[in-house]
Amino acid sequence: MVSPSPIAAASLPPAGLEGLDAKWSRLVTALDSREVERRWHVLDNRVAKPRITLVCVHGNPTWSYLWRSVLAAAPRDVRVVAVDHLDMGFSERTGQTRRLGQRIDDLDTVIGALGINSPVVVVAHDWGGPISLGWAGRHRSRLAGVVLMNTAVHQPAGSPTPRLIRMARSPGILETLCTRTTGFIKGTVRLSKKHIQRPVRAAYLAPYTTAARRRAIATFVADIPLEADHPSSPALDDVAASLACMDDLPALLLWGSSDPVFSDLYLRDLAQRLPGAAVHRYPQASHLLPEEVDVATPIFRWLETLDEGAGGYSAPVSGQPLWAAIERRHEDDAVAVAEMKGAEMVRSVSFAELAAAVAATAGGMAAAGIRRGDRVALLVPPGVDLTVCLYACWRLGAVVVIADAGLGPRGMTQALESAAPSYLIGVRRAILAARSLRWPGKRISVDSVGTQARRALGIWKTLDELEELGREAPMPEPPGADDVAIVAFTSGATGPAKGVTYRHHQARANRDAIAALYAITEEDRLVAAFGPFALYGAALGITSVVPDMEITSPGTLTATALAGAAAAVDATLVFASPAALRNIVATAHNLTPQLHNALSSTRLLMSAGAPVPARLLREVAKIVPNAELHTPYGMTEVLPVADISLTEIESVGTGDGVCVGRPVAGVEVAISPLDADGNATGPLTIDPEVVGEVCIRAAHVKDEYDKLWVTQQASAHPVGWHRSGDVGHLDDAGCLWIEGRLIHVIKTAAGVVTPVAIEHAAEGVAGVAQAAAVGIGPAGTQQVILVLVPDVPPRRAGLADFALADAVRGAIPVEVAAVLAVAGLPVDKRHNSKINRPQLSQWAASVLAGNRIERL
Amino acid sequence: MKVLVTGGSSLLGRTVAEQLRDRGEEVFLLQRRAGAPGFAEHLGDVADPATVIAAVAGKEAVIHVAARVGITGSWDEFAKTNIEGTENLLIAALAEGVSRFVHISSPSVAHHGRALVGIDAEPAEPELARGHYAKSKAQAELLALRANSDSFPVVVLRPHLIWGPGDTQLVGRIVARARAGRLATVGTGAALIDTTYISNAADAVVAALDRAPQLRGRAFVVTNGQPRPVAEVIAKIVTAAGLQPPSLRVPYRAAHFGGKVVERVWDRTGRDDDPPMTSFLAEQLATAHWFDQRETRRALQWAPAVSLDEGFQKLADWFSRQSTAEPH
């Protein structure tokens, strides 16, 4: 045995580092792979007989301190050890250059010396990833799973290496940045989007006080195999290759997507190598993820799911594929899809033409290399082209990504970066945006383009070319009911847009739920002015016509355009958003008697997408005299949930909240009661008048939130249920009443208060045009604040007239601390109707703290 | 029980004394001037040890309300009454074997000038408290809590902005200014403030006395638990007095600056009447201070019996009786 004296011995960290329990620290001695005795500093919560052991491996230039939150939050039967690599943290300074292969050996040595008998989950960050996965490859039988954060095992071909690492690697900079100064450490901490407190910053620097102690930081950076002939390249390639044998390994990928070093590029690479991985992207977080978000809670929640197994709820699967109606009517010359310009039908396809186009396009996509499971973004307005693309993708088994242009350029960029489609089909404007905003995906143009534009816009294929290609190509095998069909983005009205995935069986169930709810048969003809349902027109086997309107702003649909579309197909159904209905009512005076008459065969008008006021429906009823007016309740994650007609709205009268009707056939609704803190923690109940979060179970509930595993976990318990985030109750008759959003519940000392009912009460006071109730102050002792838009709006926002304030207090059964008056309430841009309560609450809190009154 | 109430001429002292007497306690008052028919009185200053020793002799409980309040005067004057006076009472009560001591403090002992929004009672901080009154009360509170022991339970209550019929401090000053046409809204008038109706505050003091052994060593903020914008509180008080709410507005910065000037003038000239504005008052009128009352109510097993609206009605009734008795 050789024991050369180390450059510096291992030591325990100094006392008092922020958040670090001194009891965790221990020194471990073992012989490394060269038979040299080495000493490591290790954090260890020393749980005896653990169910499982987490081995946490840091990267460069951090140390085991990175994992303190995981140690602190560990359940009693989970052992957590976090190792300082040799020459890093408080482990021994060997004075040698240790490359990746050696570091994997070292990790093997120290784990061997820790006496771990339970199954192991490795948890790694940054360059801890390749080291720990190297170890994992050697110990597959002991391995229960991996948790990876902002790391990489492979530089994807054709993509640039991280600029920051290239810079750090350049001669001259490396020594200065990493060794001579603490620049690299400080820089790493400073990359965070969240402000890292001074004591924590100091703790990261604590083991690296001298240039001698920092030497390994530079050698670590130099060891990153950016080049193929780098000495550590073979070792990294081995690690990447070993993952191929671990593709059934349970994995959790937690990712800060604002990381300038390990971008989403590496997340996609890892997700492909670990197909079973649960993925959660944090769009706002950067590199040092454990300092920016709570990683401990997701990790331990994920460990629980390993034991729970899959199981759970399985909904009945309906038989008919989404394209079945198109195939069934492949010889039918009836109009399938039509587009309008004014009152003129400018383009249409029959079912026969649609069937042929879908088959050819699907075949062509397959021939061009688009595979089942590949993601294809569809940035095409409703109409013939969208229908062809959509059903071709579904027939091929490609996953369509749908993001409403109403999200705006920023929201679209976020959505597409998150969904990461391999292909993007778009009209010219969308292709332009994709080019300039660098949206991911090979570009397929719906419009034909010249060679120059083709090169300038980076267009890969056109839709015509694909269709042409497919005329000779064989039809691909159809996807199964369990394949993913769609990633649809939520409106983003209540936060960043989230991707929601549906499998084919869920999309089928969705189609069937709509058909059953509105008794739709192939005899029906639809004016499709509401996006989500318009997609299902061909799947329902009905004629759909898209009226002339600016699709990003439904408020541009005029009564004339609607009636023109209805006349073109003798429509029996109209689906339109409330914003469209408002404009239709406003422009109804332009209708000629003839056009007015065209709306008389409409038997049903459905409006959804935002709350639909009864008085609006009453106005609409005058325009479509023979139609039943319906408004379904639901959300991107499940629609429809419940449905109510205008007649029913009139008969239920007023109550606490808005009555949205009874759950539709096949949908179960239950309430998770609120506790004193306003959290929906109670077991599900269908007892009437119990207030809580509305939970939904149905065959057409979404599969999951895309790359938002943590959000998915929070939204899907008990298993099979979807937590809507809405608060409400069921009444004696089984009708559902919505009282507001869970996050808008006001947590007063006297109990929780939901906003909608008191807003209605305030709006009943003379002189009040509109009202919003928000809470200010700490949860549990919040004060209820009413913000009013009076009939006569004030010139300056501030306290409401005292007499009006007293009248409002008198009308509301809960204590109201203050009544403010404004000229208008802040609403979301998208629907122009959902009150932005978080913004309003923040504003009210500032005003009532005594600050200068800012513009709202 | 023989109870000594100091500051018997104040609204709170008097109301507590009456409540205790009405339920059958033997109540003694310590105050500077005679004028409380129906009570046994000790006359004198709490800053005088001999007076205090004599007053505490034979008592089983002490409720220490007496304090020098206001915004003018030298530090020595505040320190003498508020700090030395409290120390005298604590020493005398300890020596006498008094079994309960309720010390009346103020939320300003933990107020550093920022808005207080839904917080519970934080520790008193003499270094950070603003102005002579708050600093001296902060030191007094710390002395009282330090004297606490199993055999000498001390409870501290910090009632916030007491008002009601007969109140010469808050109500009296506001109404006097309104009558003189000198009442203005400082800043936006929207800062939320907690206030306490007098009988609720007195109920809380009695509850603290009863539960002193369980609550010993703790401090509680006491309010009505109904914060309101400051302009609305002032308007309600003024309206109760049959006057018009103020239409004058002074921007916060102007009030704060003006207050500083006024303080200097009053300081230089030695005036001891109420200045029209001080920087402290400007701050108090323009920043939120409202409190989390959950722990106070749970621990004291007390809740306000009179709501703000009921209180304002009682105030209006009292004003109208006053004006019938002595028309202006």
pLDDT in tens, B148-164: 999 999 999 999 999 99
Residue bearing the bigger pLDDT, A380 or B326: A380
DSSP string, A469-506: HHHHSPPPPPPPTTSEEEEEE---TTSS--EEEEEHHH
Q: Which fold has domain A648-742?
A: Luciferase; domain 3 (2.30.38)
Residue A577 has a pLDDT of: 87
User: A849–B293: do the CB atoms touch at under 8 Å?
Assistant: no
Give the other-Cβ count within 10 Å of B99's Cβ. Answer: 16
For residues B78 and B63, what is the distance between their CA atoms, to the nearest angstrom?
A: 19
User: B226–A817: do the CB atoms touch at under 8 Å?
Assistant: yes
Partners of A278 in the beta sheet? A252
Instruction: State mean pLDDT over B64-93.
Output: 92
Handedness of CA A535, A539, A540, A542 (dihedral sign): positive
**Quick check: A779 contacting B, CB < 8 Å?**
no
Burial class (CB in 10 A: 0-12, 13-18, 19+), B106: buried
Total domains present in chain B: 1
User: A799–B188: do the CB atoms touch at under 8 Å?
Assistant: yes
**Tokens 């020596």 belong to which residue?**
B95
Partners of A604 in the beta sheet? A573, A628
Give the other-Cβ count within 10 Å of A629's Cβ. Answer: 23
Q: Name chain A contacts of B225, Cβ cutoff 8 Å.
A: 749
CA angle A17, A21, A26 (to 5 degrees): 100
Residue B246 lies in a domain: no
Of B119, B190, B288, the CB nearest to A799: B190
Chain A: nearest CA to B116, how far in angstroms?
A: 8
Residue B142 lies in a domain: yes
Residue B328 has a pLDDT of: 46
User: A781–B292: do the CB atoms touch at under 8 Å?
Assistant: yes
User: A849–B292: do the CB atoms touch at under 8 Å?
Assistant: no
**Tokens 């699907």 belong to which residue?**
A362
CATH code assigned at B64: 3.40.50.720
Could you tell me whether strands A638-645 and A783-790 are parallel, antiparallel, or unpaired per DSSP bridges?
A: unpaired
Phi, psi for A816 (deg, rounded to 5): -115, 120
DSSP string, B109-152: GG--SS-EEEE--PPP-TTTS-HHHHHHHHHHHHHHHHH--SSS
Contact, A557 vs A551, CB < 8 A?
Answer: no
Contact, A389 vs A425, CB < 8 A?
Answer: yes
Phi, psi for A335 (deg, rounded to 5): -65, 130
**Straight-line distance from the first to the last Cα atom of chain A, in angstroms, rounded to the nearest whole number:** 74
In sequence order, the 6+-apart residues with CB closer than 8 A to the CB of A177 are A168, A183, A184, A187, A218
> B260 vs B106, B255, B280, CA distance in Å?
23, 9, 9
Chain B: nearest CA to A844, how far in angstroms?
A: 10
For residues A377 and A400, what is the distance between their CA atoms, to the nearest angstrom?
A: 6
For residues B142 and B208, what is the distance between their CA atoms, to the nearest angstrom?
A: 18
Residue A174 has a pLDDT of: 81
Assess whether the region A324-636 and the region A648-742 belong to the same CATH fold.
no
Residue B108 lies in a domain: yes
Contact, A79 vs A102, CB < 8 A?
Answer: no
Contact, A51 vs A62, CB < 8 A?
Answer: no
This model of the complex carries an ipTM of: 0.91
User: A848–B191: do the CB atoms touch at under 8 Å?
Assistant: yes
Provide the token pair at B4: 């000594």
**Quick check: A16 contacting B, CB < 8 Å?**
no
Residue A314 has a pLDDT of: 57
Residue B233 lies in a domain: no
For residues A28 and A39, what is the distance between their CA atoms, to the nearest angstrom?
A: 5
**Helix (H, G, I), strand (E, B), or coil: what is residue B217?**
coil
Residue (of A300, A255, A257, A252) closest to A278 by Cα position = A252
What amino acid positions of B are annotated as catalytic residues?
133
Give the other-Cβ count within 10 Å of B303's Cβ. Answer: 15
Pick the CATH number of A1-311 from 1.10.3720.10, 1.10.10.1800, 3.20.190.10, 3.40.50.1820: 3.40.50.1820
User: A815–B226: do the CB atoms touch at under 8 Å?
Assistant: yes
- Segments making up each domain of chain A, as ranges: 1-311, 324-636, 648-742, 745-848
Residue A492 has a pLDDT of: 64
Give the other-Cβ count within 10 Å of A686's Cβ. Answer: 12
Which residue of chain A is at minimal alpha-carbon distance from B118?
A: A777
**Tokens 């008198």 belong to which residue?**
A810
Residue B39 lies in a domain: yes
Residue bearing the bigger pLDDT, A612 or B66: B66
Phi, psi for A791 (deg, rounded to 5): -55, -40
Tell me which architecture the domain covering A745-848 has in CATH.
2-Layer Sandwich (3.30)
Rounded to the nearest angstrom, the gap between the alpha carbon of residue B140 and the centroid of all alpha carbons in its chain is: 14
Ranges of residues in chain A whose predicted pLDDT is under 70: 1-6, 309-318, 492-495, 828-833
Residue B188 has a pLDDT of: 85
In sequence order, the 6+-apart residues with CB closer than 8 A to the CB of B254 are none
Provide the token pair at A234: 């073979």
Inform me whether the pLDDT recorded for B275 exceeds 70: no
Residue B62 has a pLDDT of: 97
Helices (H), A541-678: 559-569, 578-586, 593-598, 614-623, 646-652
Could you read off the pLDDT of B105-132 as tens digits, one per residue?
A: 999 898 877 888 988 888 899 888 888 9
For residues A315 and A703, what is the distance between their CA atoms, to the nearest angstrom?
A: 11
For residues A599 and A621, what is the distance between their CA atoms, to the nearest angstrom?
A: 11
**Tokens 């649909």 belong to which residue?**
A557
Residue (of B219, B211, B228, B213) closest to B302 by Cα position = B211
Residues of B with a Cβ under 8 Å from any A Cβ are 115, 117-119, 187-192, 225-232, 235, 245, 252, 286-288, 290, 292-294
Burial class (CB in 10 A: 0-12, 13-18, 19+), B257: middle
Torsion of CA A486, A487, A491, A497, to 10 degrees: 180
Pick the CATH number of A324-636 from 3.40.640.10, 3.40.50.1820, 3.20.20.140, 3.40.50.12780: 3.40.50.12780
In sequence order, the 6+-apart residues with CB closer than 8 A to the CB of A228 are none
Residue A833 has a pLDDT of: 62
Hey, of A747, A799, A819, which one would you mutate to test binding to chain B, going by the most B CBs within 10 A of its CB? A799
Q: Name chain B contacts of A777, Cβ cutoff 8 Å.
A: 117-118, 290
For residues A36 and A30, what is the distance between their CA atoms, to the nearest angstrom?
A: 8
pTM: 0.79
Residue (of A242, A253, A293) closest to A125 by Cα position = A253
**Helix (H, G, I), strand (E, B), or coil: what is residue B288?**
coil
Structural domain boundaries, residue B55: 2-162+196-225+290-305
